[in-house]
Structure 1
């Protein structure tokens, strides 16, 4: 599958089923060619496209990449090094940040030796910036918080900032974020009244 064919799929009608089908089709290709092209489409803006289409291709490419990571991780792993070194932190829009944070939160647990030292520090720094940005959607904050929870035991300054971070995010937190702050699932939160308390300013 060529870059042009992939871009055409990403620019057309798209939904969750399309993302799954595209992921399966890309993974069915021999070698790393199609997955590599998809990775580049998801991480490197195509300057030849108009801006709205460029954003669409980036986001949908990231969506398919996330499906590949969780459905066929071995096909993603050849690109994991670039993802940790550069492309995670470089994501500039909320949609890709959410998808990339979801991947990274899992990757740091499964592949503990993959990212370390300066790389892990850059990942944590980007995640911290996303977490405290008032403009970021709750879905981005939820996944970045999970990522930072993992970093807390490996990056000293994250551990030092953890209490301040959770206190800041806990103010008027939406239910999903309140769940993550308390380390519980959405179902557990509903059972304990976390969602209600978060809506009432913690009362």
Structure 2
């Protein structure tokens, strides 16, 4: 489906091997520094509805959800069971490869918020995934995508590696636009005191008419 909007080679990767193999070994590290994590938590605290049901999309060892949100539940969808099993904020999780199956295994109108932290650069079917995120969000639910300037370069899509950070922000914004049914699409660039910049693109599921 992406080929309607982008050349096919945009979503190729240097390493086209199995993601299950690549992520089979747990990596129990955070992928942004403490200052960027704090900035992301502050953004969540301001924009995510409190006491809700959240999906941590492309989940791993940590979710960076501030305790002040007091979630009803946090569900992880990611690639390594051991990492997610050690994530203290997850109530449950599943292993699911979005590059093989972009469809999310959840019912319509399930989540108050979907959060995708520092992983968007690995999606090979982003528009399909965004459409399913929208389907599973409650009306006016928010989808927050964050990223920095780090990645596993062999697993990042080609277009990502050939863009500067401003262009990457515009690319993610375009995913929201092409997926449809998102409103209030916003972008934000944060430069904390540490070394890692933080970029955020968010959108809300349009209210039912």
Q: Shorter-chain TM-score: which interval? A: under 0.3
TM-score relative to the length of structure 1: 0.28
| Bigger strand share | 2
TM-score relative to the length of structure 2: 0.27
Greater relative contact order (Cα 8 A, min sep 6): structure 1 or 2? Answer: 2
Report the structure number with the largest CA radius of gyration: 1
